[in-house]
Structure 1
Amino acid sequence: MKKRHNKMMKLGVGFIAAGAALTAFGQETTQVQLYGLVGAYVAKSERSGGPAAVTQLGHGGLTTSYWGVRGTEALGSGYKAIFALESFFQTDTGGMGRNATDPLFSRNAYVGFEGGFGKLTFGRQTNPTYVNMGTLSPFGVSVVFSPLVLQSFIGTYNGALVGDTVWNNTIQYTMPRIAGLGGSVMYGLGEVAGGPGTANIGLHANYVNGNFGAAFSAQRFRTPVTAPLTQQDAYLLGATYDFKVVKLYGSVVKTDASGTTNDTRTYDVGVRIPVSKSGALLAEWAHTKRTRAGVPDNERHTGSVGYDYFLSKRTDVYAVYSRDRQTGFGSTGTIGMGVRHTF
């Protein structure tokens, strides 16, 4: 494992060096950029039905730490070749990925084409359901503090959606934005012998018009799943409206499982209240009800309240308090504070 880790680190350093070299010496028609985000937080965390509270220095926080290299090459007639290689990493230990099972380029690893027709990409890509969810939560795509994301994607919070925030083996078409409307279709090949129909598919749309925003995602996830579940259909619908003195968020998530009775309904509301030019209060509450055959319904309530303050355009600090309760267990709390910096 140590040799594998050292090899991955050397490979990562090599890509950084290559990116820097291409940036400095690339042709006029080629552009390569190194970028990312570094975040860390300190928290005393406890979830309902989980182990005793633990005090920890965690990686990420409001946004999972990552670095990446992306590039474009002009092909003529308005067309471009594009690529992106992005890796999550753990600020607290220096480890690669979100955990030991993540590949080197765990966030994105794709190549494709872009032009007036939109964008067509191939590889490992971030699930647009997760991206849309981030626009519908005042805590963004946080897998630590956003109640909507926690109850949707995190297993220890009874995550309603089967599958990761990133999909493997995908082909994605992203349409050009027209009058505020954007959208994409993602198809993930299952690569299962003798099962050509074993694939994941997602249909996504988002709309922005002035202070109003809306998002919709529908996805069918088939692989990898285990019996008796054969597939899960999931739907996300939500909207936001910015009154300037307060921004309101609301969304609904629905999942239906095939092969077994294990369905969920999630309702989420949130607010963002600017209190100064650089700081804002954040609040959000989510409720998920899970229905299973022969088992009493499970309900989970998670709420977060926080304050986010930007020290500069690229650096902010924050503090968050969360409360969590599920059927059959007592209510627990998490308190944390952190910092993040983009580059």
Structure 2
Amino acid sequence: MKKLLMSGAATMIACAGAAHAQSSVTLYGLIDAGITYSNNQITPTGGGHSNWELKSGPVQYSRWGLRGAEDLGGGLKAIFNLESGFNLNNGQSSVNNRLFNRQAYVGLSSRDYGVITFGRQTDDMVDFVAPLSLTGTEYGGTHFAHPFDIDNLNDSFQINNAVKYQSPDFAGFKLGALYGFSNQAGGFSNNRAYSFGMSYMWGPLSFGAGFLQLNSDAATPGQLNTNGAVTDTTGSSLQGVLTTTAVPLGALAGRQQTWGAGVSYAIGPAVAGLVYTQTNLTELFQTGSSTHVQNFEGNVRYALTPAVELSAAYTYSRAGGLAGAGNPHWNQVSAMAGYAFSRRTDVYIQGVWQGVSASANSPLGVAWINGLTAPSSTSNQVEATVGLRHRF
């Protein structure tokens, strides 16, 4: 009888172990904190003053998340990801009234056919072009973003109500597509989004391209759909400069098109890259006007030692077509050095200089480095940060 009981217990333990091996849930996260200096920040009383700040996420947004997978057999898995961004300074969520503000999706992953997911997700500019730009990586991040992060390479907003597909690897090629529903009866295109992209990797060469379109009836007063594809708010956006009011990015324009491509090449410990993006905005801010913003970025990374990584980027940006904005041009130089204590913990120092030129009295004639609390009172701005980053 004892042998029978012991045999049964052993069988149950073995079955439980097998079930555990086929299903997993992982808690993960990243905490990034730094002390940031910037000059010329506009104050409520006017003029510009230097500012010392303790910043959460100077390079990468602080976050925590849960991801899981269940093996369904035959190379098929059920997967999910729930990810929440937070402000390390005060412990609050980075987006009010939204628990999993960065990602929240469930789907199926097939070894042979790719991955399809449903929920709040990143677009294909973020997936395929951003990894080739320093702002979309751990080697530059938030302050390295192109002006106003207008091309979203720094992942300033995500897509709600989204169905997303990513293909398996075909001899180095990968493809992706996304559609974000408006979820509005009688307003199928009112605040919807769609995106697609591709990448190719061959030895030291990496290439990526993407496209994102946002549609909204926001150009018509009273037609803003706050339950649609894009509902994030941001103060450091093009709209923030022109109107000083942050509203859903879906209301930025009647139509927003962003497309771009990038390439990088590795030579030993060095990686050099080029990125181009263009964003077209039509029916802007209920005015009927249109504009476009182009970004040209060159970047380089160099592993000085296994623990020391150096990176730098130069970005030239220009806007045109917006009446009264002065067709500004931006020059931005960014650099960063990091030292890794381990695979999970590192310290870094980074700096950014931005200069803008525009016609007199243009609202876009002042510099504003992404991630800083306020724009400069002049056409130039400098940022310097010393930070600590930990992953778990």
Q: TM-score, normalised by structure 2?
A: 0.73
Using a 3 Å threshold, how does the CA distance of structure 1 residues 281 and 333 change in structure 2: closer, same or farther? same
Paired residue type of 1:145: H
Contact 1:236–1:252 under 8 Å retained in 2: yes
Partner of 2:142: 144
Residues 71-220 of structure 1 mapped to structure 2, 5 A cutoff? 71-97=68-94, 99=95, 101=96, 103-115=98-110, 116-141=112-137, 143-146=141-144, 149-151=145-147, 153=149, 159=150, 164-198=156-190, 199-220=192-213
What is the distance in 1 between the residues matched to 2:218 and 2:127?
Answer: 22
CA offsets 1:162-201 (integer angstroms, 9 cap, x no match): 9943111100011001111112101000123312233210
CA offsets 1:129-166 (integer angstroms, 9 cap, x no match): 123343122353455322xx34252xxxxx35699431
Contact 1:48–1:325 under 8 Å retained in 2: no
What is the distance in 2 between the residues matched to 1:107 and 1:188?
Answer: 15
Partner of 2:383: 334
Contact 1:49–1:330 under 8 Å retained in 2: no
What is the distance in 1 between the residues matched to 2:85 and 2:261?
Answer: 28
Partner of 1:304: 334
Paired residue type of 1:88: G
**Mapped pair 1:40 → 2:38:** no
Contact 1:161–1:255 under 8 Å retained in 2: no
Partner of 1:281: 310
Paired residue type of 2:204: N
Using a 3 Å threshold, how does the CA distance of structure 1 residues 151 and 284 change in structure 2: closer, same or farther? same
Q: 1:70 aligns with which of 61, 67, 70?
A: 67
Aligned positions, number: 312
Paired residue type of 1:54: N
Q: CA deviation at 1:308?
A: 1.3
Using a 3 Å threshold, how does the CA distance of structure 1 residues 294 and 89 change in structure 2: closer, same or farther? closer
Paired residue type of 2:256: Q
Q: Which runs of 5+ in 1 are unaligned?
A: 1-22, 154-158
Q: CA deviation at 1:119?
A: 0.4
Residues 55-66 of structure 1 mapped to structure 2, 5 A cutoff? 55-66=52-63
What is the distance in 1 between the residues matched to 2:151 and 2:74?
Answer: 45
| Percent identity for Structure 1 against Structure 2 | 25
Using a 3 Å threshold, how does the CA distance of structure 1 residues 290 and 48 change in structure 2: closer, same or farther? farther
What is the distance in 2 between the residues matched to 1:304 and 1:47?
Answer: 18
Paired residue type of 1:73: E
The more displaced of 111-120 and 38-47 is 38-47
Q: Which runs of 5+ in 2 are unaligned?
A: 1-15, 221-251, 284-288, 358-364, 366-377
CA offsets 1:197-235 (integer angstroms, 9 cap, x no match): 332100111111111111101111114854593111111
Give the match's secondary structure for 1:195: coil
Residues 5-44 of structure 1 mapped to structure 2, 5 A cutoff? 27-44=20-37
What is the distance in 1 between the residues matched to 2:319 and 2:348?
Answer: 32
Backbone CA RMSD of aligned residues: 2.6
**Mapped pair 1:268 → 2:297:** yes
What is the distance in 2 between the residues matched to 1:323 and 1:281?
Answer: 17
Using a 3 Å threshold, how does the CA distance of structure 1 residues 340 and 310 change in structure 2: closer, same or farther? same
**Mapped pair 1:239 → 2:234:** no
Look at both structures and tell me which one has the larger radius of gyration over its CA atoms.
2
Contact 1:274–1:281 under 8 Å retained in 2: yes
Q: 1:318 aligns with which of 348, 352, 355?
A: 348
Q: TM-score, normalised by structure 1?
A: 0.83
Contact 2:126–2:136 under 8 Å retained in 1: no
Contact 2:123–2:212 under 8 Å retained in 1: no
Using a 3 Å threshold, how does the CA distance of structure 1 residues 334 and 164 change in structure 2: closer, same or farther? closer
Paired residue type of 1:232: Q
